[in-house]
Amino acid sequence: MTRRIAVLDAPTNLGLRPPTPTSVPGCGKAPGALRDQGLLGRLRARDAGCLTPSRYDPGDWRPGDGVCHAYEIATYSVALADRIGAIIDRGEFPLVLGGDCSVVLGSALAMHRLGAAVGGRVGLVFVDGHSDFRHPGNASYVGAAAGEGLALVTGRGQLDLTAIEGRRPYFRDIDVVVLGIRAQDDYRLDLQAAGITTRPVPALRAEGAARTAQWAHDQLTHCAGYWLHVDVDVLDPAVMPAVDAPDPGGIAFAELENLLAGLVATPHCLGVELTVFDPDYDPDGSYAAEIVNALVGGLRPVTAPGSGPSRLLTAVPPRRGAERRRSPEQPPVLLVDQGGPADVEQPPKSLAGPGVPAGLAAPAEPEASNHLAPVRRLGNPQIPGLSAP
């Protein structure tokens, strides 16, 4: 038995600053550019469609106003979580093509729903050239969600993004492994203080990509599974300059392929997202072709004979009455505050162990539509927990 890959386009650019005052980020074109290189055919993947984001329009946003496009990003994240959850419920392996790094909010929400449904936690392997750990506690102001993604999904920042559906944090610090940041990353000491496990590029290279993948997996064996985030700026600009923030000292395509192969070669890996490739900097498509080659090689273990469905869905029965999604009559309520540490969660019961029956997956859901779920604004954003009637 093998897992089938389902490719979902998430072409959002809402989490980035504009490259110039009169232009918009080009990473929303990435899914189309990768498809043009034959990605779906080479992966023999199912086409799971495209979730179209709201229009990019910073309006009169100014530094100090919080995260730009926060309302639109939160709404998009709910819809993206629905789509990812539906793919996993079909027994498939989601490959989400971003878009900017704010897509991690949608996948994080999907993973929290999934973990809550079975009474456990899902982890995150964060492969990125930058820590994306800027938040109100360590920066003078925030603004671009793509540069704050890891902070937001670990519960640091304004509640309309960190506590969607009242879930916070989506990932606990001890359930996150960061790979590929540069040795001089601005927030490396903050990650260390938070207890987030990291392996910067020098250590990754010294240990090797394959051994690093196994090491990352070993850090998360206490979780029911993990999600894999891959920002192509983990690659060195010498081989991948088509990103919004190239930073020297990255890895090579061969290393990325080996890292991917090691991380997905287990039913513990529930899916992967790819972010920040900007085709505007790739006029002849050569970098898109390189990315597709790395993806095809790196994801080969997913469809290898005997790979099987994810451990989370086949090894753990859902708790009676647990719901993955809210009903249409109960749209998500998004709360807002000015930042601060994440709420403390009590450790859940262990999901692993002998005697757990196999084959008890949560019931499959129909594919969600492209329509975005409604989001309620708060009457007073200064008072967390008080929503408009």
Domain boundaries, the chain: 5-315
Angstrom distance (rounded) from CA 197 to CA 220: 10
Would you call 359 exposed, middle or buried from its count of C-beta atoms within 10 A (0-12, 13-18, 19+)?
Answer: exposed
Angstrom distance (rounded) from CA 98 to CA 101: 7
- Per-residue pLDDT averaged across 315-338, rounded? 36
Q: Which residues is 228 bridged to in the sheet?
A: 125, 272
Instruction: For residue range 208-228, list pLDDT tens digits in order.
Output: 999 999 999 999 999 999 999
* φ, ψ of residue 275 in degrees (nearest 5): -135, 165
The amino acid that residue 328 corresponds to is P
Q: What does the pLDDT read at residue 312?
A: 65
The pLDDT-based confidence of 306 (bands split at 50, 70, 90) is confident
Instruction: For residue range 86-134, list pLDDT tens digits in order.
Output: 999 999 999 999 999 999 999 999 999 999 999 999 999 999 999 999 9
Helix 253-264 crosses helix 286-298 at what angle (to 10 degrees)?
Answer: 30
Which element (helix H / strand E) includes 42?
helix 39-43
- Per-residue pLDDT averaged across 259-264, rounded? 99
Cβ pair 176, 220 in contact under 8 A: no
pLDDT exceeds cutoff 70 at 43: yes
CATH architecture of residue range(s) 5-315: 3-Layer(aba) Sandwich (3.40)
Q: What does the pLDDT read at residue 63?
A: 85
Nearest of 277, 304, 273 to residue 290 by alpha carbon: 277
E strand map for the chain:
5-10, 46-50, 93-98, 123-127, 176-179, 197-199, 226-231, 269-275
What the block records as the tokens of 87 is 């793919």
Please report how many Cα atoms fall inside a 13 Å half-sphere around the Cα of residue 241, on the Cβ side.
5
